[in-house]
Structure 1
Amino acid sequence: MKETILKALKKIESDYNVKILYACEAGSRAWGVSSKDSDYDVRFIYVHKKDDYLTIDPIGIGKKRDVIELPIDDLLDITGWELTKALRLLRKSNPPLLEWLHSGIVYYQEFPTIAQMKKLTREIFAPQACLHHYLNMANKNFQGILQDGEVNSKRYLNVLRPILVANWIEKLNEFPPLDYQLLLEKCIAEGEVKGEIKALLKRKRLGEKQAEKLQIDVINEFFIEEISRLREWIKTLNVYLQDFSPQLDLLFRNTLDEVWA
């Protein structure tokens, strides 16, 4: 499958006249909870040629899009962000971008840019931005479970994962790995809740019907308690955020020189 993905990325470079710097997996496969029916969620970061940036209309304005999206099929979902977009998002500790950079499944990487971005994440990391993102995601997904009588393990895990990420940030003040098992072992103590979560993970990996009447009271109670507790904890945070724009500007300029030398 990697060969198919790399071939698709090469075609993107040719069709759009860009250079891809990095491509990774960003879905259930990166989280370690994929089943045989899971598709491949490929995400990439790319850069245009120098002259494309030296215009009165910046990339991302009007017809000059800063996103490349291929039509989704049953197997592949491929989306890429242009480098300046990615760097602006890095400046804000954008969680989806941080997930790309922390993916354990890397299909392609060239030039030093991504390594330098990963290094900068440790300095730029803004816990509050990430915590608000993940707790809002957890709450929205949980409300969907409460309102819908037919729920499967995937929907439960879509509530649990952002809660585990928030727990990791609370404990270690860093962006966590994507692997579900690592998050679970670090953030949840042994007991009934952890046992139910392990059962959900097993169901998800084995595959299941898309809609089941699955309601687990002990998990629902855990969701309510953790979302409420973490929201109160966020209010106590007082984090100074440094402006890393000069470092990111330099990284962008150096990348243009290296890629298009």
Structure 2
Amino acid sequence: MSRTRHDPGTLAQEYLDAVQSEIDEERRRELDNKLEALQDRRKQYVDQHGEDSRFVQRVDQKVEDIELELDELDESAQQTDEYRRQFLEAAVDSFEFNSEWLSTNTLEGLAHALYGGSDAYLVLQQNRIESPDDLVELDEITKLDMEHTLLVLIEDRLGQTDTVSSRWERFADSKYHIPFLVVARDGSASPEDVVPELGGDADRKDAKNWLESPIYDWEDLIPYYRAGDGEFALSTTGKYLYRHYAEDLDDLTGANKERQNETDSDDGGQTSLDDLNGESRGDSDE
């Protein structure tokens, strides 16, 4: 059977091809800096040599060339954004766990469109999904919850829901925030890795509880999965939260630690698991 324009694999490939052809941000920054330097110097050059001098005309040509390249970069970025939008809108309309949407190419497209990754798998509800074969032993409700969770993330990426942002606001103001940043920074982390960042009287038991609680107590948007050897790693949701919502990890031992110490000393102002999970019952994820 021939592949259509709206086939998930085709849309994913178009998006990934556009990403590959897009000039990286380093080139854009280089051009922006060069343009600013030329524009700053032009007035000095005009004052010295005159508006109509051949030298100033050469500078003007360099400015024009840079502006043209920046326009081309903007157009390329807009095209990439459009391919991403089409791909994600198709997912909102038709995503389900089947061979089309769980092909390697399509999964890579979803990972990049959601959080800029290159993963050819999903991690939802503690389950790693690389192909339909990984779903065989899962019950129907679990599979529906996983599909639902992924759609919540996609809808957030398209600006169609505030479910994720509302959850993050409560999460970032809770004792679970620092452990999340440690896992995001290190790729995976154990309670022992988290303790040094907590400050105050927090110990290994606290760190373990704060890492485990979302897995056991949250009904949706669970940021971790158990990676083995006592370590926790970011799920698909966790990677999405880190990419689009988390603060700069440079703040981990500064402002975030200070806030953690403050909340440790004031239980009344600390967000609980029930607060984090309550408003979103029925959403589902990892």
Q: TM-score, normalized by length of structure 2?
A: 0.27
Of structures 1 and 2, the larger Rg is shown by 2
Which structure would you say has the larger RCO, counting Cα contacts within 8 Å and 6 or more residues apart?
1
Q: Which has the higher helix share?
A: 2
